[in-house]
Amino acid sequence: MNTCPKKQPQSPDRAQIDDLVERLCASYADGIGVNHSEGLNLPREAEILELLHDLVELIFPGFAEREAESADTIRFSVGDLLIRSHHRLTDLLCRVFRYTCKTISENCDCKAKAATVAGEVLAELPVIRDVMKTDVQAAYEGDPAARNKQEVIMSYPGLRAITIHRIAHALFTRKVPMIPRMMSEYAHRITGIDIHPGAKIGRAFFIDHGTGVVIGETAEIGDNVKLYQGVTLGALSFPKDACGMIIKGAKRHPTIEDDVTIYAGATILGAVVIGKGSVIGGNVWLTHSTEPGTRITIAKPDLTSEKKPRP
Amino acid sequence: MNTCPKKQPQSPDRAQIDDLVERLCASYADGIGVNHSEGLNLPREAEILELLHDLVELIFPGFAEREAESADTIRFSVGDLLIRSHHRLTDLLCRVFRYTCKTISENCDCKAKAATVAGEVLAELPVIRDVMKTDVQAAYEGDPAARNKQEVIMSYPGLRAITIHRIAHALFTRKVPMIPRMMSEYAHRITGIDIHPGAKIGRAFFIDHGTGVVIGETAEIGDNVKLYQGVTLGALSFPKDACGMIIKGAKRHPTIEDDVTIYAGATILGAVVIGKGSVIGGNVWLTHSTEPGTRITIAKPDLTSEKKPRP
Amino acid sequence: MNTCPKKQPQSPDRAQIDDLVERLCASYADGIGVNHSEGLNLPREAEILELLHDLVELIFPGFAEREAESADTIRFSVGDLLIRSHHRLTDLLCRVFRYTCKTISENCDCKAKAATVAGEVLAELPVIRDVMKTDVQAAYEGDPAARNKQEVIMSYPGLRAITIHRIAHALFTRKVPMIPRMMSEYAHRITGIDIHPGAKIGRAFFIDHGTGVVIGETAEIGDNVKLYQGVTLGALSFPKDACGMIIKGAKRHPTIEDDVTIYAGATILGAVVIGKGSVIGGNVWLTHSTEPGTRITIAKPDLTSEKKPRP
Amino acid sequence: MNTCPKKQPQSPDRAQIDDLVERLCASYADGIGVNHSEGLNLPREAEILELLHDLVELIFPGFAEREAESADTIRFSVGDLLIRSHHRLTDLLCRVFRYTCKTISENCDCKAKAATVAGEVLAELPVIRDVMKTDVQAAYEGDPAARNKQEVIMSYPGLRAITIHRIAHALFTRKVPMIPRMMSEYAHRITGIDIHPGAKIGRAFFIDHGTGVVIGETAEIGDNVKLYQGVTLGALSFPKDACGMIIKGAKRHPTIEDDVTIYAGATILGAVVIGKGSVIGGNVWLTHSTEPGTRITIAKPDLTSEKKPRP
Amino acid sequence: MNTCPKKQPQSPDRAQIDDLVERLCASYADGIGVNHSEGLNLPREAEILELLHDLVELIFPGFAEREAESADTIRFSVGDLLIRSHHRLTDLLCRVFRYTCKTISENCDCKAKAATVAGEVLAELPVIRDVMKTDVQAAYEGDPAARNKQEVIMSYPGLRAITIHRIAHALFTRKVPMIPRMMSEYAHRITGIDIHPGAKIGRAFFIDHGTGVVIGETAEIGDNVKLYQGVTLGALSFPKDACGMIIKGAKRHPTIEDDVTIYAGATILGAVVIGKGSVIGGNVWLTHSTEPGTRITIAKPDLTSEKKPRP
Amino acid sequence: MNTCPKKQPQSPDRAQIDDLVERLCASYADGIGVNHSEGLNLPREAEILELLHDLVELIFPGFAEREAESADTIRFSVGDLLIRSHHRLTDLLCRVFRYTCKTISENCDCKAKAATVAGEVLAELPVIRDVMKTDVQAAYEGDPAARNKQEVIMSYPGLRAITIHRIAHALFTRKVPMIPRMMSEYAHRITGIDIHPGAKIGRAFFIDHGTGVVIGETAEIGDNVKLYQGVTLGALSFPKDACGMIIKGAKRHPTIEDDVTIYAGATILGAVVIGKGSVIGGNVWLTHSTEPGTRITIAKPDLTSEKKPRP
C-alpha cells in the first residue's frame, strides 16, 4: 500500500549536536583558520571573482555581459564598471592592508592607501589591454588551429590565465597582500596554469594547452615567449640567510629572454638564464643557463620495444 | 567610543575616471577583443554552457535536473529539452555563421544553414548516446575502483570530457566555427583533458584520471583505446606549403588503432600510427609508428640513490 | 530600411522532434545512464557541493559566508550548519545505500544506517579540523611564498584538495558508495589533484601547485609528507585472483613513510615503501622500495645542445 | 583624515542573545504558530505560488514564460508542466490531509487520496479554461477601455482573481484544507479582491477595478454577472445551532442570478436572492431579495453645498 | 521502525496525462489566451517591471539600487540605465505595435516607430522628474505624519502610483497599446490605486492612503489636487453612437480643477466639472458639476443609536 | 526567404543620450529625491523586507523557511536569526539616525543609540509573540470560515498586517525615523490595510478581509476589538498652533475601547471615544463619542426600486 511521507526525518540528537558545537567552537578559539571572528574580515573568493569579472570585462568588453553595447555609447557602461571596480577594490584592499598592519587604531591610513592603490591599478588597465592585444596576436599566430582572434579571446585558457596574471601582477608590484595570490589561484583552478603573481612577463606571451604549467615568483619572461603544457619554471633550492632562514623574495627562478620557445613537459629550475631565441625541447630537465640561440633537446631515450605475446 | 559609519567611501576622482574612460574607449576603437560592438554578437560562454547542460541531460537524463521523471512520462521533458536546444543552437549557429561570413546583407542564408545544422546535430544525439554507453562500459571495466556504471556517469572526468567532445565533434564536422572550440575548452577547464573538437574518436574510449591529456586536431583513435593522465597525442611540426605558410588541417597528429593502451605521461608526436593492440608505457616519448601488438616501455632510467646525511 | 523582428524563429519540425523523442526514449529503455527513472534517485553533483560547502565552512569558518560572526555567538551558526548538514547527509546516504542494496522493501534499514553514519562523520569534524591545522602549518612552512596562514586557507589548491579528501575519506571508511568519489572528483576538478577517497593520509601533508597529482586508492601516506605537482602514487598492475579477476581493494599503491618529500613529476608505482625521510627527485620513475633516508634523483639526462642556425 | 572601516560592528551581547533564545523557544513550546516542528510540515506560501504559476500557465500559455512556443510543439511543455504540477500538488495535498487527519500512522491513505484529488483537479483544467474564455469575453465587452482580449488576460486584476478562484474552488469542492484559502488570499493580496474559495461562480463573470470586493463562502453567482469595485456579498449574521454555536457551512451569503450588474460600493448581506437581470446601484445597502429585473438605486442623498469663504 | 523513503512518488498515469495534453492543446487551437504561439510575442509582466524599475531609478536615483553613487560620477550609471531602457522599451514597443498592426510583412515600419517613441518617452523623463518634485512637496505638506521628503519617496503608495502613472501616460499619449495599461495595473496591484493611463493629471498631486481610488480614462485633474482613499472619478454611463455602439475615448469622466480636495469614499461620476478650490466631503455621491469654491458635504446621516442589552 | 537577425538594434543616438544625461544630472543637483548621493545612505525597501522576513520567522517559526526544524534543536536557528537581525537592524537604525541628526561628525553617538534600540526591539519579540497568540485566537474565533489556527497564520491578511504593525510600533515608540513607516507601507501594500505605526493596539485584535482599512497615527484600540474591511479611524481636522501650523503628534484620531466591533465601511473621525462593548454598523459615519455598550447603525437608506423595462 502506498503511504504518506511520515514524520520529518528525525533530527539529529540534541546532545550530540550540543557536544559537537562545543568541540568545534573550542577548536576555533585559537583563531586559526577562522575569518571574520575578531573584526578582521578578509576577502572571500566570491568577492575576488566579482571584481575580476568586471576588470576582464573592461579589458575585453562584451564577452561576458548579456546586454549589447554600441561603440557610440559604451563609455557609460565603461564608466560604471570603473566606478564599481574602484569601490570594490578599495574595500578589499583596505581589509587586507588592515589585516597585515594589525593596526586597528583610529589613526591608521589603510583607507587612503587602499584608495591610492585602487586608482593606480585601474589606471593601468589601458596599458594591460594594449599588452594583451599582443598576447592575442601571439596566440593567433602561434596556433594553427586558431581561426580568428575572437576565438582566442573567447576560449583559450592560456590567454585567460595571462589576463588574470597581468591584473594580479599590477597588485603584487604594489605590495598588496593575499588578493593577487587569490586571483592567480583562481586562474590556476580554471586553466591548470599556475603563475605566481610576482612573475614578470613581457609582451606577446603565449601558453598553448597549458595544463600543468608552473611559473615561479621571481621568474622573468621576455617578449615573444611561447610555452606548452606542463612546463615548469621553478626553484632549485631556496637561498637561506646566515641563520638558515629562507630569504623571502630572493631571485630563485629562471629568466627567459625574448623569442624563446619551451616545449611540453620541460622543467627549468633555478635562477638560470635561457638566452634569447633558444628552443627547449619537450621533457627537457634543465638547471643551467643557455647561450642565446641554443636548441636543447632530450637525447633519444632508450625504449624497449617488444612484440606482445598472443594471449 | 564607538562611532557611526562615516560618509560613503569617497568616490574615485571624477577627472581620473573620465580620463580612464577615454583611454579605454580609444583602445576599443580598433575593435580588437570587443564583442557586440558592431552588431556582431558572438556567443558568450554562459550560453554555450546552458546549451551543453541541456544536451548532456538528453544523453544521461536525470543526473543534473532536480525534478524526478518516470520512464512513462519522460518524453514530455525530452521533447521540451529538444525544442529549447533547437532554438538555442540555431541562434548560436546563426551568429557564428554570420560572423564568419561577414555578410550582413539582407540576403544571407545563415539562418537557414543554422537551422539545418542544428537539426542534424540534434538528430545525432541518439547515436552519440549509443556510443557513450560503450564508453561507460569501458570505464567500468577498465577501472578496478569503479563500483557501478552510475558512479562512472556521475563522477568520472574522462567520461565528461568525452561526452562534450562527441557533441563538439558533431558540430566541428559541420564546419561550425568557434562553438566546438568553446565547448572543448570548457571540458578542458573542468577536467584538465584537452581534446581538440576535430579529433576522431572510436567507441569504448576510456581516459583515466585525465589531467594533462592533450589530443590534437587531426588525431584519430580507434575502438577500445585507453589513456591515462598526462598523455599527449601531439604534432611534431606543422606542415607548410611552398610559401612557408602553415597548411591548416593537414594531418599532423597520431593515429591510434583499436585496442591500444597508453600509460601516464607518454608523448606521441606526429602523424604516426600506433598499431592495433599496442601498449605504450608511462613517460615514453615516441615519434615513430609501431607495429600492431607492440609493447614499448621506457628503458630503466639511471637513478642516483644516496643515503642522506644525518642532519 | 530598418524593419521589425520577424516571426518567431521557425520552430523545429514537429515530425523531426517526435522522431527524436521516440529514439531517445527507446534508448533510455535499458536504464543505462538514466537517473531518477525507477524511483532510484541518486545524488546529483549540486547536492554534493552544497553539502561540502557547509562542511568546509564548519572546518574553516568565515571564508565562504557573507555574514560576519563573532567568537561569542558563532555557536548558533555552527549548530545551524550542523543540523542542516545532518539532514542533507542523511538524505544523500539513504539514497546511495538504497541504490546499492537494491532493496526497496518496506523493511530495509537504510535510513537508520544513514542517520548513524551521518552522525559519525559529523562527529569527526573536530578531529579533521585539528589535523587540518597541521596541514595549514605545513603549507605555511613549506612554501616561501606563503605570507601567512590565512592566505594558505584562502587560496592554496593543495589545502582545498586535502580538506575535501579528509571529509571524503571519513565517508569512504564507512563504506559509503559513490558520494566520496563524487567529492574527490570535485576536488580533482577544481585543483587538478586526484586523490582517491580510499587513500590514508597522515598529518601535516602539503601538496604544492598540485596540478596532475594522482594518489591511488590503497596509497598510505605518513606525517609531514610533501608532494609537488605531477606526482603519481599509482598501481603497477592489478593483483588478480585465481580466476584472473581483479581483486578489488587489494593493496597496489605505495606506502610513503613520515617526512618524505617527492618532487614534481615523480612517478612511484606499486605497493612499494618509501622509507622515512626519503627525498624523491623530480621526474623520477620508481617501482621499488627505498630505505629510510634515501635521496633518489634522476641521473643527468643526456641533452643535445646545438646552436640554432641564423635564419 | 579618512580612516579605515573599524572592527566589525560589535556583535550583540551574548548574554542577551542567550536570554532571548531561551524566551522565544519557551514560547514556542506550546506549538502555537510553529510549523514543521513536530514533523507536521504545512505548505508554505512560496510553494503555493509556484504551483499556481504553473497552473495559470497551462490555462493561458505563454504569458509568464520566457521561451517561445509554437502551436506545433507546445504539447511537450504542456505535458511537462502537467507532470510537475501533479507531483507538486500531490505533495502539498498529502501534507494538508495528514495535518487534518492528525493520523501519522503507517496505515493512513492520505497519499492515495492526494494523488486522486490531484488527478481530478488537473483533469478539470480544460473545463476551467473553457469557462475562462467566457470571462475574458465578458471583460472585453464590458469595459470600453479594453482594446483586445490579450490586454484583458495580461493586465486585468479581475480576471486574475477569477482564474485563481476557479482553481481554488476546484480544490475546495474536494474538501482540501488550507490550500484553497492560501490561494484565494494570494489573489486577494495582488488584486484587492477577496473571493472565498467556496463561492460558486458561473460563466462570463466580470469584476471591474475590483479593489475592496468581498464575496463570501456560500455566495452563488450565475452567468453574465458584472461587479464593480467595493462590492460586498456578505453575511448578515451567522446562523447558530440550539447551543448557540455557529453552524459552519450554513448558507449565509447572497445568491446572484444571471445577468445581474452590481455597481461600486454596493453591499448585499444575507442569504437573499438578487433576481435575474437586476441592477444594483452604487453604494446601495441591501439586506432583502429582489425580483428579477429590478433596478435599485440609492435615493438622492442630501448634500450640503456651501460657498467656501474667501480666505 | 524507521524506514527509508520509498520509491519516487508514483508518477501520474500516462494515459491521463496524454489525454489532458490533447484536451488542452485542442483548447489552445483557437488562439484565445495564448501568447507566443504564432510568432506574436507580447510583453510579459516581468519585462514591464524590469523596465519600470529602471525608469523609476532614473527619476529617484538611489532608492532601489544597492551600489552607492556620488553626484560626481552618477552620470555613468544614468547613461547606462538610459541605454538599457532605450533597448528594452524599443523592443517592447516594437512587439506591441506589430501585434496591433497584424502586419508582419518585411516592409512594416514598426521598428522605426518603436525607436522614435522610445526616444520621445525617455526625453520626457526630466520633465516628469520636475513634476514629481511638486508631487513630493504636496505630500510632504499635505500629511502631518510626513517627517521629511525622503520618507515620502521611500514609502508613500500615492507617490508610487503617480510616478508610474506619469510614465504610463507618456506612453498612452503616443498611442502605445497594452504597455501603459500593464504599467497602471502594476501600480494598482501594489497600491490599490487604479489610475487609467489616459487620465490627465496636473502638478502637485497628492493621494493619501489611496486604497480603492479609481480614476477613469478621460478624467482631467488640475494642479494642487488632493484625494483620499476610496475616491472614485468614474463614468456615469457610456456615450453611444447612433447605432448604440459605445463611443471609445469620448469624455465620460470628471474634470477636477485646481486646488480641489476630495475626502475619503467620495464618488464623482460623469463628465462633470468640480470647480477650482472646491472641497468634496467624505462619502459624497456626486453626479453634477460644482461652482468654484464650493464645499459639499453629506448631510448628517440618520443613525440609530441604541443601548445594547446586558447579556 | 528566411534571413538572419540583422545588426544589433540601432543604439540610441549618442547626442540624445548625452543630452538626457546632462538634463537628468542637472535635475539631481538639488538633491531632492536622490538617495546615496552625499554619503547619506537611507534604507532601501529590499533591506526592510529582508529584516521583516527574519523577524516574522522568529515570531511564527517555520512558515517561511524551507528547512525543517525540530523543537529540540530550533534554538540554533533562532540564535542565528537573532544575531543576523541584530546586525541588520543596527545598521539600518544607524543610517536613519544619522540622516535625521545630519551630524556626520566623528563624535556622533548614532551607532551606540542604534545598537541599544536594536537590542530593545529584539528583546520585545517574545512579548509581541505572546500578544500575537491572542490575535490568532481572536481571528480563529471570530471567523466561522477559519478551520484552524495554522490557516489563520498562513493566510489571513489581517494577521499579517498586525504582525508587521506590532514590530513597526516597537520601533516607532523608540522614535526611529522612516523605518516604521516603510514597514507599515509594506503591510499596506500586501494587505490593503493601512495602520500608522504610531497607533496603539491592544490584545486579541482582529481585522477581517481588511482591504481599505485605515488607522491613524494617534488612534488607540483596546483589547478584543474587531474591524471589517473599509473601516477608517481617521482625523477630522488637524489641530493647529497659534501660528496656524499643524501640531505634530497631537491626538486627532479615535480611541476604541475594549470589546468593540466595527462593521465594514464605517468611518469614525476625530479624537472621539467609542465606549467599551459598542457595535458600530456598516457604512456608519461617526464624528462623536459613544457611551459604552452602544449599538449604532445607519438608518434604513431610501432605496429607489423600479422594474426595469423590457428591452
Q: Which residues of D touch C (CB under 8 A)?
A: 8-9, 11-12, 14, 17, 21, 68-70, 72-73, 76
pLDDT above 80 (res E42):
yes
Phi-psi region of B21 (alpha: psi -120 to 50; beta: other; left: phi over 0): alpha
A127 falls within a domain: yes
Q: Kindly tell me the sign of the dihedral angle through the C-alpha atoms of B170, B172, B174, B177.
A: positive
Note whether residue F217 is domain-resident: yes
> What is the average per-residue pLDDT within E281-308?
86
**Range with the lowest mean pLDDT among A237-251, B112-126, D44-58, F164-178?**
A237-251
Query: Is residue F159's pLDDT more than 80?
Result: yes
State the smallest CA–CA distance between residue F162 and chain B in angstroms: 32
- What is each CA distance from C138 to A179, C143, C208, C209, C259, in whole angstroms? 21, 8, 11, 14, 11
Taking the alpha carbons at both ends of chain B, their separation in whole angstroms is: 55
Is C308–A234 a contact, with Cβ atoms under 8 angstroms apart?
no
DSSP bridge partners of B280? B262, B296
Task: Indicate the average pLDDT of chain D.
Answer: 87
Cell digits of residue C26: 527507446
C56 vs C79: CA distance, rounded Å: 14
Work out the average pLDDT over B244-257: 83
> H-type helices in C102-234, by residue range?
110-123, 125-142, 149-155, 157-172, 179-191
The pLDDT value recorded for residue B250 is: 85
Look up residue A144 and give its three cell numbers.
594553427
Amino acid letter at D112?
A
Q: How far apart are CA D295 and CA F303, in angstroms?
A: 10
Query: Per-residue pLDDT averaged across E13-23, rounded?
Result: 87
Strand partners, A256: A221, A274
Best interface-test mutation with A: which of D2, D3, D4, D14 has the largest number of A CBs within 10 A? D4
pLDDT at B80 over 50: yes
Per-residue pLDDT 10s for chain C (311 aa) are 333 444 444 567 788 888 989 999 898 888 787 776 555 588 888 999 999 999 999 999 888 765 556 777 788 989 999 999 999 999 999 989 988 876 445 556 888 899 999 999 999 999 999 999 999 999 999 888 888 888 899 999 999 999 999 999 999 999 999 999 999 999 999 999 999 999 999 999 999 999 999 999 999 999 999 999 999 999 987 777 777 666 777 899 999 999 999 999 999 999 999 999 999 999 999 999 999 999 998 876 667 788 876 55
Residue type, D109: D
- Per the DSSP assignment, residues forming a β-bridge with F226 are F206, F261
The grid coordinates of residue D229 equal: 469595485
Contacts (Cβ under 8 Å, ≥6 apart) of D49: D186
Kind of pairing, strands E220-221 and E255-256?
A: parallel
Give the span between the Cα atoms of B207 and B226, in whole angstroms.
6
Q: CA A175, CA E30: separation in Å to the nearest integer?
A: 70
Using a CB–CB cut-off of 8 Å, the residues of F that contact C are 2, 5, 10, 67-69, 73, 75-80, 82-84, 87
- F38–B94: do the CB atoms touch at under 8 Å? no
Quick: pLDDT tens for F66-102: 555 677 778 898 999 999 999 999 999 998 998 887 6
F249 Cβ contact partners less than 8 Å away, ≥ 6 residues apart: F217, F218
C-alpha A64/C-alpha A57 separation (Å) is 7
With contacts defined as CB-CB under 8 Å, which chain D residues touch F231?
Answer: none
Q: Encode pLDDT of A79-114 as tens digits.
A: 999 999 999 999 999 989 988 876 445 556 888 899
Q: Are residues A250 and A176 in the same domain?
A: no
D102 HSE (CA, 13 A, CB side)? 1
- What number of other Cβ atoms are within 10 A of residue A11's Cβ? 20
Q: Which pLDDT band holds residue E250 (cuts at 50, 70, 90)?
A: confident
String of b and e for E74-94 (b: at least 16 CB within 10 Å)?
A: bbbbbbbbbbbbbbbbbbbbb
* Neighbour-count burial of A299, counting CB atoms closer than 10 A to its CB (0-12 exposed, 13-18 middle, 19+ buried): exposed
Which residue among B66, B190, B301 places its CB closest to the CB of C298? B301
CA–CA separation, A138 and A226 (whole Å): 8
Calpha distance E228→E237 (Å, rounded) = 24
**Considering only CB atoms, which chain A residues are within 8 Å of E69?**
83
pLDDT, position F67: 58
Considering only alpha carbons, which residue of chain D is nearest residue E188? D191
| Cross-chain Cβ contact F150/D42 below 8 Å | yes
Query: Is pLDDT of E293 > 80?
Result: yes
Please tell me whether residues C114 and C156 are part of one structural domain: yes
Average confidence (pLDDT) over A149-171: 95
Give the end of a domain, one of F173, F192, F211. F192
Closest CA to C160 of A172, A188, A47: A188
pLDDT at B6 over 60: no
Convert the pLDDT of each residue in F244-276 to its tens digit.
Answer: 666 777 899 999 999 999 999 999 999 999 999
What's chain E look like in SS3?
CCCCCCCCCCCCCHHHHHHHHHHHHHHHCCCCCCCCCCCCCCCCHHHHHHHHHHHHHHHCCCCCCCCCCCCCCHHHHHHHHHHHHHHHHHHHHHHHHHHHHCCCCCCCCHHHHHHHHHHHHHHCHHHHHHHHHHHHHHHHHHCCCCCCHHHHHHHCHHHHHHHHHHHHHHHHCCCCCCHHHHHHHHHHHHHCCEECCCCEECCCCEECCCCCCEECCCCEECCCCEECCCCEEECCCCCECCCCCECCCCCCCCEECCCCEECCCCEEECCCEECCCCEECCCCEECCCECCCEEEEECCCCEEEEECCCC
Q: pLDDT value at position F38?
A: 52
C-alpha cell read off for D135: 470571462
Stronger pLDDT, C34 or F202, i.e. the higher one = F202
Q: Are C135 and C147 in contact (CB under 8 A)?
A: no
- C188 and C203 together in one domain: no
Instruction: Provide the residue count of chain F.
Output: 311
Residue C44 has its nearest CB partner, among B64, B111, B133, at: B64
Query: Which residues, 6 or more positions from D52, have their beta carbon under 8 angstroms from its beta carbon?
Result: D164, D167, D183, D186
* CATH for B96: 1.10.3130.10
3 state SS of B214:
strand
Is there a single domain that holds both residue B211 and residue B92? no
CA pair distance D113, E211, nearest whole angstrom: 42
- Other C-beta atoms closer than 10 Å to the C-beta of B66 total 9
Task: State percent of chain C over pLDDT 90.
Answer: 61
End-to-end alpha carbon distance in chain D: 55
Rounded Cα–Cα distance for residues F92 and D158 (Å): 38
Q: Where among F164, F192, F220 does a domain terminate?
A: F192
F22 in a domain, yes or no?
Answer: no
Q: C45-59 and C74-101 are packed helices; what angle lies between their axes, rounded to 10 degrees? A: 140
DSSP H or E segment with residue E234: strand E232-234
Contact F3 B108 (CB under 8 A): yes
CB pairs < 8 Å spanning C and E? 66
Task: Measure the CA–CA gap between F305 and F311, rounded to whole angstroms.
Answer: 18
CB contact under 8 A, D108 and A5: no
Which residues in chain F have their CB less than 8 angstroms from residue E111's CB? Answer: 9
Q: Are C201 and C162 spatial neighbours (Cβ–Cβ below 8 Å)?
A: yes
Instruction: Write out pLDDT tens, residues F24-73.
Output: 989 888 878 777 655 557 888 899 999 999 999 999 988 876 555 677 77
The residue whose grid cell reads 497552473 is D55
Residues F165 and F284 in one domain: no
Interchain proximity E295–D283, CB inside 8 Å: no
Q: What is the mean pLDDT of residues A245-270?
A: 90
Structure letter (DSSP) for residue A246 = B
Query: For chain A, how far is it from start to end, CA to CA, in angstroms?
Result: 55
pLDDT of residue A249 exceeding 90, the answer is no
Whether A221 is covered by a domain: the verdict is yes
If one counts every other C-beta atom within 10 angstroms of the C-beta of residue F244, the result is: 6
The answer, yes or no, to whether residue A169 has pLDDT greater than 80, is yes
Q: Give me the residue label for grid cell 492520505.
A: D110
Q: Which residues of A touch E (CB under 8 A)?
A: 2-3, 5, 10, 67-69, 73, 75-80, 82-84, 87
In chain C, what residues touch B89 (CB-CB under 8 Å)? none
Per mean pLDDT, which range of A170-179, B149-158, E13-22, F226-235 is the poorest? E13-22
How far away is chain C from the Cα of A212, in angstroms, using its nearest Cα?
5
Identify the pLDDT of residue E246. 67
Note whether residue C50 is domain-resident: yes
C-alpha span between A254 and A268 (Å, rounded): 7
Q: In this structure, are residues B206 and B228 in contact, taking their beta carbons and an 8 Å threshold?
A: no
Distance from CA of C228 to the nearest CA of A (A): 11
Query: What CATH number corresponds to the domain at position F232?
Result: 2.160.10.10
CA dist F303 and F300 (Å) reads 9
- Residues F205, F97, single domain; the answer is no
Are F109 and B3 within 8 A, CB to CB? yes
| Chains near E (3 or more Cβ pairs under 8 Å) | A, B, C, D, F
**Do residues B112 and B152 both lie within one domain?**
yes
Rounded-to-integer distance, Cα C236 and Cα E280, Å: 97
Residue ending a domain, among F162, F192, F222, is: F192
Helix (H, G, I), strand (E, B) or coil at D225: coil
Q: Is the CB of residue E180 less than 8 Å from the CB of residue E117?
A: no
Q: What are phi and psi of D13, to 5 degrees?
A: -60, 135
> C139: domain range?
36-192
What is the C-alpha separation between C123 and F170, in angstroms, rounded? 42
Rounded to two decimals, the pTM is 0.92
Looking at the fold, whether E93 and E143 belong to one and the same domain comes out as: yes
- When pLDDT is cut at 50, 70 and 90, the band that residue E3 belongs to is very low
Does residue C216 belong to any structural domain of this protein?
Answer: yes
Starting at the edge strand that comes first in sequence, how are the strands of the sheet with F279-280 ordered? Answer: E303-307, F294-298, F279-280, F261-262, F226-227, F206-207
What pLDDT was estimated at residue A108? Answer: 60
Domain identity same for C134 and C61 = yes
| Number of compact structural domains in chain E | 2
- What residue in A sits closest to B29 (Cα-Cα)? A71
B-interface mutation test, from D76, D77, D86, most B Cβ less than 10 A away: D76
| Cα separation, E270 vs E274, whole angstroms | 11
Residue A268 lies in a domain: yes
Are residues E21 and D70 in contact, defined by beta-carbon separation less than 8 angstroms? no
| Residue of F111, F133, F298 with shortest CB distance to D32 | F133
C205 and C180 part of one domain: no
Query: Cβ atoms within 10 A of the Cβ of B30, count?
Result: 9
- All residues of chain F having their beta carbon less than 8 Å from the beta carbon of residue C68 are 87
Q: Does one domain contain both F62 and F126?
A: yes
Element spanning A200, H or E? strand A200-201
Contact F12 A68 (CB under 8 A): no
Does C21 map to a domain? no
ipTM of model: 0.90
Please judge whether E14 and B68 are an interchain contact, meaning their C-beta atoms are less than 8 angstroms apart: no
> Do both B240 and B265 map to the same domain?
yes
